[in-house]
Chain A
Amino acid sequence: MSRQKVLELKELSHIYVNASGAHLAVDHIDLTVYKGEFISLVGPSGCGKTTILNMIAGLIAPTYGELTMLGEAITSPSSRLGYMQQQDYLYPWRTILQNVMLGLEIRKEANAQSKQKIISLLDELGLEQSADKYPHQLSGGMRQRVALARTLIIDPDLLLLDEPFSALDLHIKMQLEELVQSTLDRLGKTAILVTHDLAEAVAISDRVVVLGRNPGHIRKIVTIPRELRAAGPIEARKHPSYQACFDEIWYELDEEMERGGKGCRIT
């Protein structure tokens, strides 16, 4: 395999310490993500999905283990990384254009061409004529697309998607999945998606990482057949091999729920 490794997690562990004690949240995660891959993390609540994402984002430091992106250790938020949250968190006091400009301004990369670049990116994402509007004038789906533009404008190598579709209506949600997947494919971006929605994970990903809880650990990594990935999220849901994949992951999660986790708490 000559594929380029974008992200490597080696024996990654994290312990939260607070007034009520120390708590092992994530235990020995090993995962390698290659360029252009779309990875989903699924699992019950308390399985450390968000902790893993925050470590990759450089927001919290791993307690043990190694975490490297394109060969370099991640210690703080990196310019090669984009992050989409559950809600759009557009700044209500900024216009759409100014919202998308934010990352460039913070990095002092804004220049004369930025405005044109943003407008053409907004056009590509189906947001024509909205550059001068304020966030409250847009619908939820449009706002989340602006959030995608805000993430893409700084040209990150890796996108972290923390349930960005979960607050949307089903129809809008599937359209946005389609848009995100095709846009990332076109730009050759790598993505890690955290989701509660198994159907979404199967329809959009190359590989689905099933996590167990207490502490968070990898139960199984399911590779989605190429034909499903190639079909796109909406078509994939109708594909003959879709149900088998879905059932496999469903079974894993069922097992996890019944077993109720490892039950490891260090206090």
Chain B
Amino acid sequence: MSNNMIAPLTTLHKQYKDRMRRKSMLVLLTQMILLVGFIAIWEWSSKARIVDPLIFSSPSKIANHLYTSLLDGSILPHIGITVAETIAGFLLGTLLGTLIAALLWWFPFVARVFDPFLVVLNSMPKVALGPLLIVGLGPGFGSIVAITLLVTVIITTINIYNRFRETEEGLLKVATIFGATRFQTFYYVILPAAFPVIISTLKVNVGLAWIGVIVGEFLVARVGLGYLIIYGFQVFNFTLVLSTLVVIAFVATFMYQAVSFLERKVTSGWKDR
């Protein structure tokens, strides 16, 4: 009886897995076709002068430019400095935001006082303060990281503070009954309960940090990917602008994946509540 059952069960499972694999393959294939098709049409319409090659360049020119600039290493300092600024920006933004959120949680009076100010700051376009920071801190690494910090820190503070406040009453009660001090409550309950939100804020901040860094470099830098874009624009070299964009796309994706990996590591034990 049970032997009779096993054969069809494994067959069914195999069929199911095959179906799923076929579906994934189909998705991947379609993605490839779209990408290759896009590049091919771009190349062709540029060669045929359907689009202006001065503005839109062409994939072959971009690939060629990337190849040479990677080979002679001339793009590497630009990548290095921009990545450093971005990482410094989003790490500092997340860290500082979490710290401010902790202070707001610790002092409810302060939280109530600052609530409207946070709302105003959050709705303001922070990069508009860029010129101020550049004058204050001098052009360069410091002021660009500061702009990035400004872009990320307010929303981080608001998100994480809200998460702190929404910690489940029952979880807190467990610690209170054990006689936990305010600091212990924070350390044992509030902070670890907020870890998933802190990590997902980190993810959002990776994207925001790129905005801060690129705008900052537009304004002052003499090195960096944002500088390359603005320089390419000034000398009307759109091949340079577009190939820099391609580099940014790759580096930003890599950074996002790295944070996702970190997320899986940190929350591996507890997927659900």
Contacts and interface: CB of A to CB of B under 8 A. Distances in A.
Interface of A: 57, 59, 76-79, 81-83, 85-87, 89, 91-95, 102-103, 105-107, 134-136, 150, 154
Q: Chain A interface secondary structure, helix, strand, loop or mixed?
A: loop
Contacts of B107: none
Contacts of A94: 192
Interface stretch (B135-143, B145-153, B174-182, B227-235): B174-182
Interface in B236-273: 267, 269-273
B186 interface: no
Give 10 closest A-B pairs by Cβ, nearest first: A92-B270, A89-B170, A106-B178, A103-B178, A134-B269, A83-B177, A93-B192, A77-B179, A106-B180, A136-B272
B173 interface: yes
B218 interface: no
B193 A87 contact: no
B142 to A, nearest CB: 36
Given A102-B188, A106-B188, A107-B179, A89 B173 contact: yes
Q: Chain B interface secondary structure, helix, strand, loop or mixed?
A: helix
Nearest to B168: A89
A77 B192 contact: no
Given A106-B180, A107-B178, A83 B270 contact: no
Given A77-B178, A92-B272, A93-B269, 6 more contacts: A59-B173, A91-B171, A102-B174, A102-B175, A103-B178, A135-B270
Contact of B193 (A79, A81, A93, A134): A93
B269 A95 contact: yes
- Which of B168, B170, B195, B267 gathers most chain A CB within 10 Å? B170
B189 A91 contact: yes
A76 B180 CA distance: 11
A95 B269 CA distance: 8
A78 B184 CA distance: 16
Contacts of A86: 170
Contacts of B189: 91
Contacts of A85: 170, 173-174
Contact of B270 (A102, A103, A106, A136): A136
Contacts of B178: 77, 102-103, 106-107, 154
Nearest to A135: B270
A83 B178 CA distance: 9
28 contacts: A59-B176, A76-B179, A77-B177, A77-B179, A78-B179, A81-B177, A83-B177, A85-B170, A86-B170, A89-B168, A89-B173, A91-B174, A91-B188, A91-B189, A92-B272, A93-B267, A102-B174, A102-B188, A106-B175, A106-B178, A106-B179, A106-B180, A106-B184, A134-B269, A134-B270, A136-B271, A136-B272, A150-B174
Contacts of B267: 93
A89 B177 CA distance: 13
B192 A83 contact: no
Contact of A105 (B188, B195, B271): B188
Contact of B192 (A76, A89, A91, A105): A91
Contacts of A105: 188
A22 B173 CA distance: 24
Nearest to B180: A106
Given A106-B184, A136-B270, A57 B170 contact: no
Given A102-B188, A105-B188, A92 B179 contact: no
A154 B177 CA distance: 11
A133 to B, nearest CB: 9
A86 B170 CA distance: 9
Nearest to B273: A92
Contacts of A136: 270-273
Nearest to B271: A136
B270 A93 contact: yes
A61 B222 CA distance: 65
A134 B192 CA distance: 15
Given A85-B170, A102-B188, A134-B270, A93 B176 contact: no
A83 B184 contact: no
Contact of A93 (B168, B170, B184, B195): B195
A78 B189 CA distance: 20
B24 to A, nearest CB: 27
Contact of A57 (B171, B177, B192, B195): B177
A103 B184 CA distance: 11
Contacts of A93: 192-193, 195, 267, 269-270
Nearest to B196: A93
A89 B273 CA distance: 9
Contacts of A95: 269
Contacts of A91: 171, 174, 188-189, 192-193
Contacts of A154: 178
A85 B272 CA distance: 20
Interface in B152-181: 168, 170-171, 173-180
A107 B178 CA distance: 7
